[in-house]
Amino acid sequence: MFNLSVFLQGFPLLFKAALATVGISLAGLLIGFFVAVAVCAARLSDDKAMRALGGAYVFFFRGVPLLVQLLLVYYLLPFVGINVPPLVAAISTCALCSAAYVAEILRGGFLGIPHGQIEAARLLGLSRLDVLQRIQVPLAFRLTLPALGNEMVLLLKASSLVSVVGVAELTRTSQNIAASTYRPLEAYLAAALIYFVINGALSLAAHYAERRLRTA
């Protein structure tokens, strides 16, 4: 039934692959955050065209499954003459997709700031930029932290899909182990365990950051 030694033997390889998974997710999250800031700024801008553009971005990337986005980047870009290595396709797709969600989280954060805070700051003589830097950004960050932590966990799980384009991350490596040992149950259970532990650590870190910020 359950072969413990196959289960345990997979771990050294899987640990290495887990680093790739974490790397892809973190890179995607980080790059995605910058894209998200731009998209969020577009959606909150006074310019109608910019708002529409930001809206279209969010509509597309939240409305199409990540797997399909991955296929788009992987199959379509070579078609127009841009060859992307699987790893680049993986990271950029994760970034573009999470950017849509993070942009909406940030927008919610900025809209959630009580207007009185901004008015008070303006009355105290702070410039527009100062208000943004010292009032809006810190408040929005505190408001959005739980949702951002949640997004981090979702992205880590979603990164399992990049195995489809052959990136040797955690899921792909567990597939390889399953194929070479003929023990899929053990291989995938080991991978599931590692995902679970990483996600648990991420959730704890997010909770800790939330608590620290609340007292700050």
> What residues line the site for another protein (CB under 8 A)?
1-2, 59-60, 62-68, 71-72, 75-76, 79-80, 153, 157-161, 163-164, 171, 174-175, 178, 183-185, 188-189, 191-192, 195-196, 199-200
Contact assessment for residue 77 and residue 83, using Cβ atoms and an 8 Å cutoff:
yes
Q: With respect to another protein, which residue has the nearer C-beta, 131 or 173?
A: 173
Q: With respect to another protein, which residue has the nearer C-beta, 136 or 203?
A: 203
Min dist CB 40 to another protein, Å, is 19
Min dist CB 132 to another protein, Å, is 30
Residue 140: CB atoms within 10 A of its CB come to 21
Min dist CB 5 to another protein, Å, is 15
Q: With respect to another protein, which residue has the nearer C-beta, 69 or 131?
A: 69
Q: Sign of torsion, CA 151 156 161 165?
A: positive
Helix (H) or strand (E) segment spanning residue 38: helix 11-44
DSSP output for 41-81: HHHHSS-HHHHHHHHHHHHHHHHS-HHHHHHIIIIIHHHTT
> Backbone phi, then psi, for 46, in 5-degree steps?
-80, -20
Helix (H) or strand (E) segment spanning residue 3: none
CA distance 109 to 147: 10
Min dist CB 209 to another protein, Å, is 19
CA distance 194 to 95: 22
Q: With respect to another protein, which residue has the nearer C-beta, 135 or 177?
A: 177
Min dist CB 44 to another protein, Å, is 21
Q: With respect to another protein, which residue has the nearer C-beta, 135 or 173?
A: 173
